[in-house]
Amino acid sequence: MVISPLDLSFDRDHLWHPYTSLSDPLPTYAVESASGCRLRLSDGRELVDGMASWWCAVHGYNVPELNRAATEQLGKMSHVMFGGLTHAPAIELGKRLVEITPAGLDRVFLADSGSVSVEVAMKMAVQYQHALGHPNRATFLTLRGGYHGDTTGPMSVCDPVTGMHHLFAGFLPQHQFYDRPPGGIGVPVEEAYVSGLEDFFAAHADRAAAFIIEPLVQGAGGMHFYDPAYLDVFRRLCDEYGLLLIYDEIATGFGRTGELFVGARPTAVPDILTVGKALTGGYLTLAATLCTEAVAQIIGRGSAGVMMHGPTFMGNPLACAVAVASIDLLLAGPWQARVARISELMTLHLRAAAESPLVKEVRVLGAIGVVELHEAVDQAAIQAYFVERGVWIRPFGRLVYLMPPYVITEADLELLCRVVVNYILASPPENYPT
């Protein structure tokens, strides 16, 4: 399929793109194919991928092992319903997820996207409380600055400001928000924060089913990092007040932070965990919600007797087969060393950006590199600048960030960092904040 200028105008006039103005859309770039860590545009230009397609493509693109898994599965069946039927790809994926996620998360619900897996996690928590005789415990406690997806349940626990809760007032259920933990990785737990959080739990826990958070890294809500010691505080408070602890590891899962899952910290294992994005290596949409046996048993004893969710494409065999291949490929390779090296190189090469008065902070964790500016970037200008220099980086707001495929070469990673730093250092002084 070749894209003509006419097609691009059809795209502009008829297709919604994520968070893109209808009246004054920024240019979209047509991709013809992608391979390794390169996106090939329809005009022949090649871009080094700095985004892993929003955390997903950890192995890069057009990966022989994943292509093979998809092709083999296509020859058998791409889909069958999961009600009353099962199949090897779902069972094999279930085995792997139980094995590689934190201990005790033994029950797996296969959902069709990250947002749906969060919906499922929230419904699990409500059904759990209901089954325990607490039908009034149906709200959620969460942190400001979070992001959990765009369907109604997840949106209601996204940051109220960036999630534009005012726009959906009357539509979104009301939940309780507390400040995100201060500092960053390695910054000791702040006593004043903890005592405020204790008061918050004391005030709202009796109506809450669970505390839902992104552990360690708040992604689309601002790319903030916080120290893992806060997870112990969250676990303690949830236990004290009878709340379930839900970790949304849709972004952080499968090694992105340097750990396979952040929730593996033995002192702060969650009751419910959501994973998605890199689950299929970015090939197909699939996510999963895992919970402990105890949570599942209690849900089973409730009035419904079943989990009240069952999407059409639950356990899609094609997606499951690719997910199995993706997990096997990840675990067979030196992912930890790769992520550690990416971390080292981004720390080294992005550091120069911190010298600019435009920059508030440069921070790196695992294979996530963030340059936070004082002011929002000019999206159109920066996007064009990056594409002209052969890289695909998609900043949002005040954040220019990199989360490349783990298989990126050192030369490509250096190029990504260099282009970011050059853009920032070349910005004229009139752009500096006053």
Q: Is there a contact between 117 and 287 (Cβ–Cβ < 8 Å)?
A: yes
366 touches ligand PMP (CB under 6 A)? no
Catalytic residue among 61, 147, 230, 406: 147
Of positions 52, 108, 155, 220, contacts ligand PMP by CB under 6 A: 220
Query: Interacting stretch for ligand PMP, rule CB under 6 A, among 99-107, 223-231, 243-251, 323-331?
Result: 243-251
Q: Which of 49, 119, 248, 372 binds ligand PMP (CB under 6 A)?
A: 248
Look at residues 101, 107, 103, 156 and name the one whose alpha carbon lies nearest to residue 128: 107
Q: Which of 248, 271, 283, 423 is catalytic?
A: 248
The conformation of residue 180, written as its DSSP 8-state character, comes to P
- For 151-179, b/e burial (b = at least 16 CB within 10 A) is eebbbbbbbbebbebeeeeeebeebbbbe
When the beta carbons of 113 and 289 are compared against ligand PMP, the nearer one is 113
> Count of alpha carbons within 13 Å of 346, Cβ hemisphere only?
26
Q: Is 19 a catalytic residue?
A: yes
Measured from the CB atom, the residue of 401 and 423 that comes closer to ligand PMP is: 401
Of 114, 181, 263, 404, the one binding ligand PMP (CB under 6 A) is 114
Beta-strand ranges (E) seen in 104-191 are 105-111, 139-143, 176-178
Name the residue number minimizing CB distance to ligand PMP.
114
Decide the pairing of beta strands 287-292 and 272-275: antiparallel
Q: Does 372 bind ligand PMP (CB under 6 A)?
A: no
- Give yes or no: 29 in active site: no
SS3 content of the chain, % helix, strand, coil (to 5): 40, 15, 40
Candidates 43-51, 69-77, 143-151, 395-403; binding stretch for ligand PMP (CB under 6 A) = 143-151
Applying CB under 6 A, among 111, 157, 246, 251 the residue interacting with ligand PMP is 251
- CA contacts within 13 A on the Cβ side of 43: 10
The minimum distance between CB 217 and ligand PMP, in angstroms, equals: 8
| Contact range with ligand PMP by CB under 6 A, out of 112-120, 290-298, 336-344, 385-393 | 112-120
Q: Does 412 bind ligand PMP (CB under 6 A)?
A: no
Binds ligand PMP (CB under 6 A): choice among 87, 148, 175, 265: 148
In the complex with ligand PMP, the residue whose CB is nearer, 250 or 377, is 250
Confirm or reject binding of residue 363 to ligand PMP (CB under 6 A): no
Task: Verify binding: residue 317, ligand PMP, rule CB under 6 A.
Answer: no
Among 8, 14, 45, which residue's Cα sits nearest to residue 27?
8
One residue of 125, 155, 250, 329 binding ligand PMP per CB under 6 A: 250
Asked whether the beta carbons of 402 and 393 are under 8 A apart, the reply is yes
- Least Cβ distance, residue 399 to ligand PMP (angstroms): 13
- Are the CB atoms for 229 and 267 separated by under 8 Å? no
Count of residues that bind ligand PMP according to CB under 6 A: 15
223 is an interface residue for ligand PMP by CB under 6 A: no
Phi first, then psi: give them for residue 166, nearest 5 degrees. -60, -35
Tell me whether residue 241 is one of the annotated catalytic residues.
no
Write each residue from 60 to 99 as x if it is in contact with ligand PMP (CB under 6 A), else as -, in one continuous string.
----------------------------------------
- The catalytic residue among 13, 19, 24, 43 is 19
Give helix 229-241 / helix 191-204 axis angle, nearest 10°: 30
Nearer to ligand PMP, 197 or 273 (CB): 273
Q: What angle do CA 308, 313, 314 make, to 5 degrees?
A: 50
Asked if 277 is an active-site residue, the reply is: yes
Cα–Cα distance between 127 and 129 in angstroms, integer?
A: 5
Strand-pair category, 139-143 with 208-213: parallel
Burial level of 133, CB count in 10 A (0-12/13-18/19+)?
A: exposed
Q: How far apart are CA 201 and CA 243, in angstroms?
A: 10
Which of the residues 193, 247, 277, 423 is marked catalytic? 277
Dist. CA 204–CA 210, nearest whole Å: 11
Interaction with ligand PMP in 177-216: which residues (CB under 6 A)? 214
- Give the residues lining the site for ligand PMP (CB under 6 A): 54, 113-115, 118, 147-149, 214, 219-220, 248, 250-251, 276
| Catalytic center residues | 19, 147, 248, 277
